[in-house]
Structure 1
């Protein structure tokens, strides 16, 4: 079944809701270093930090189809079975998170999705294997193919940004090597329809804490808040044959704010899609574990630090654990510093949000 055919049977995304102005970029053109397309990529990464990437003809679409099926089978398992792999019990960001285990706002409202994080390094053999359900073990070849193809897309983006920033060759790619240990993961997500009289945020507003995110979904619900004091939340329409790509906070830190990690959230899908279970598939690329998240040297394009400004000395691994588990009820009870889990963009928005 083609990726386009997998949209069949899903209620149409409505035309009367505000949608984010994401640029549609072509992976083929980027691979061919089409000058106009590369300029559009760099503009998208500075202005909004989100864009569509046309992947038609790329094998990752077949990988995504297979993993959507794997995810559905995974989430059909009994809750007690899935809880055996609860990531909070291991103080890890790999494993299972059940619905309601995290908060979505400062009032303590619980999230409305469950997900499972699969380690890139486990799948590729860079680390010791982690315990996981049989349905995932049986799909390891598929995960390996998806991870390899997704990481290839990430590397294309990083190399083009590297050239734009006039950094020494492969600076960014060498911080995100496929076979180096990192927090890279595949996340499978399930968000069932919400009660008609209580449709609200399913995943709270945040920025991603890694470098580049590659997202596949077929049902709406993702929203972004564009830059600007008077900005309003707008939906990101899923497009067949396309991934949604966005930058994370690590890229903000590496470029001292030149590149953008935009705030986003997940709400109940719009229109008739609200009655549909929303599945998502994500590849999160993050800097290698020992990388220090701070402004990169070697580029005159990256803004300097402000006079007297000192950067936090924190390794990628410690940063990821702090951000990934910061809003988990199971770890912190009700004493959660919700603001600290939101990400870098909230620092600049707090003055007027």
Structure 2
């Protein structure tokens, strides 16, 4: 089933929010079942592999198993935390601005990152919470009281999201016939990494100037688990003449996508698809858009290079040079690469990620 179906078997709208319009193009994403994946359903495992190769995005239905329902409950709780977090004064939030720390944990205000070649600035604010902090792997980071009070809920959400990431990595590992545990052992929950939860707020844009809120990019980690309730996320499907299409939020579902690390590990076999965030379509554009994300990244010391051990992963070409960079350095470079307050000469194309390397026409 893809996003062009009518979703007659699910509720199409989130309570209390304006409906997603029916007259905008939506991305043809597969809708996968967490329950079936956990049960090892062969057809569902194959659909996951297909989505990973074709577009790198898919819906994950969380309503058909206890694990999924628990994660949905945690996400609902954190949406409320996010709203309280962003209601804090700008002065209070700026105390935790990560630009002062040359880090990517903490607060990012609106209008500090470039979103296009013309130099327009972003229209969202977000707050990144370190997995290592919440899991007790590193020292606690300074944070507002509302986040201190919700550490247990954040930990539960991280554990639930990471378990889904581990399941996806195991399935893809088996599909590639890699030695058992190859991918999972690069993403251990208790190991030092750049994994994080991100709260995002995008206020309504001016009616006469609704444009990109977050510039086109690929994610620089391995697997992203996203929860949002209003439209705005757009992907650019494969193909020379492709046009931007919306990813319609579905109640009870997460939106999952692969990141650049999976492209590098498989030498372009898996897809880290380019995407961006625009103003929500139709009457949704009058509402504030909140999102909640779990970003899973390789452990800090993992080198981002092609993995050996699978016949499905093409060899390095004679004229191909793999960059020698570990996950930690890669993440810092990508996370801060479009910050006008930190980078003098922003290379917009380079900061977009692996998409320019991996983009290819499907025939």
TM-score normalised per structure 2 = 0.94
Q: Is 1:15 the counterpart of 2:22 in the alignment?
A: yes
Q: Is 1:341 the counterpart of 2:351 in the alignment?
A: yes
Deviating more after overlay: 244-253 vs 7-16: 7-16
* Mapping for residues 123-138 of structure 1, pairs under 5 Å: 123-138=134-149
The ranges of structure 1 where at least 4 consecutive aligned residues each deviate by more than 6 angstroms after the TM superposition are: none
Q: Residue deviations 1:285-325, cap 9 Å, x none?
A: 00000000000011111111112422111000000000000
1:194 equivalent among 197, 205, 215 = 205
Tell me the equivalent position of 2:52. 45
Deviating more after overlay: 5-14 vs 230-239: 5-14
Measured in 2, the distance between the counterparts of 1:324 and 1:199 equals: 25
Q: Is 1:121 the counterpart of 2:128 in the alignment?
A: no
Q: Is the 8 A contact 2:225 2:293 kept in 1?
A: yes
Measured in 2, the distance between the counterparts of 1:115 and 1:283 equals: 13
Measured in 1, the distance between the counterparts of 2:286 and 2:134 equals: 34
Unmatched tracts of structure 1, length 5 or more: none
Q: Partner of 1:332: helix, strand, or coil?
A: coil
Measured in 2, the distance between the counterparts of 1:30 and 1:119 equals: 28
Q: Residue deviations 1:121-164, cap 9 Å, x none?
A: 00000001100111101000000000000000000000000000
Q: Partner of 1:338: helix, strand, or coil?
A: coil
Q: Is 1:213 the counterpart of 2:220 in the alignment?
A: no
Task: Report the alpha carbon displacement of residue 5 of structure 1 after superposing the two structures with TM.
Answer: 11
Tell me the equivalent position of 2:282. 271
Measured in 2, the distance between the counterparts of 1:18 and 1:120 equals: 35
Measured in 2, the distance between the counterparts of 1:317 and 1:193 equals: 34
Q: How many residues align?
A: 347
Measured in 2, the distance between the counterparts of 1:164 and 1:83 equals: 45
Measured in 2, the distance between the counterparts of 1:25 and 1:348 equals: 24
TM-score normalised per structure 1 = 0.96
Measured in 2, the distance between the counterparts of 1:137 and 1:107 equals: 39
Q: Is the 8 A contact 2:271 2:358 kept in 1?
A: no
Tell me the equivalent position of 2:297. 286
Q: Residue deviations 1:173-228, cap 9 Å, x none?
A: 00000000000000000000000000000000000000000000000000000000
1:65 equivalent among 48, 56, 76 = 76
Tell me the equivalent position of 1:179. 190
Task: Report the alpha carbon displacement of residue 346 of structure 1 after superposing the two structures with TM.
Answer: 2.2
Task: Report the alpha carbon displacement of residue 337 of structure 1 after superposing the two structures with TM.
Answer: 1.3
Q: Is 1:300 the counterpart of 2:311 in the alignment?
A: yes
Q: Is the 8 A contact 2:105 2:129 kept in 1?
A: yes
1:316 equivalent among 320, 324, 327 = 327
Rate the CA distance shift 1:350–1:60 in 2: closer, same or farther, 3 A: closer
Measured in 2, the distance between the counterparts of 1:5 and 1:128 equals: 42
Measured in 2, the distance between the counterparts of 1:81 and 1:285 equals: 28
Measured in 2, the distance between the counterparts of 1:114 and 1:321 equals: 18
Q: Is the 8 A contact 1:26 1:53 kept in 2?
A: yes
Q: Partner of 1:244: helix, strand, or coil?
A: strand
Measured in 2, the distance between the counterparts of 1:336 and 1:207 equals: 16
Task: Report the alpha carbon displacement of residue 101 of structure 1 after superposing the two structures with TM.
Answer: 0.9
Rate the CA distance shift 1:147–1:86 in 2: closer, same or farther, 3 A: same
Task: Report the alpha carbon displacement of residue 349 of structure 1 after superposing the two structures with TM.
Answer: 5.2
Rate the CA distance shift 1:111–1:242 in 2: closer, same or farther, 3 A: same
Cα RMSD between the aligned structures? Answer: 1.5
Tell me the equivalent position of 2:87. 76
Q: Is the 8 A contact 1:6 1:65 kept in 2?
A: no
1:35 equivalent among 34, 37, 42 = 42
Tell me the equivalent position of 1:100. 111
Measured in 2, the distance between the counterparts of 1:226 and 1:88 equals: 33
Measured in 1, the distance between the counterparts of 2:15 and 2:119 equals: 37
Q: Partner of 2:104: helix, strand, or coil?
A: coil
Measured in 2, the distance between the counterparts of 1:230 and 1:162 equals: 32
Q: Residue deviations 1:57-111, cap 9 Å, x none?
A: 4200000001000000000000011011111110101000000010101111000
Q: Is the 8 A contact 2:12 2:250 kept in 1?
A: no
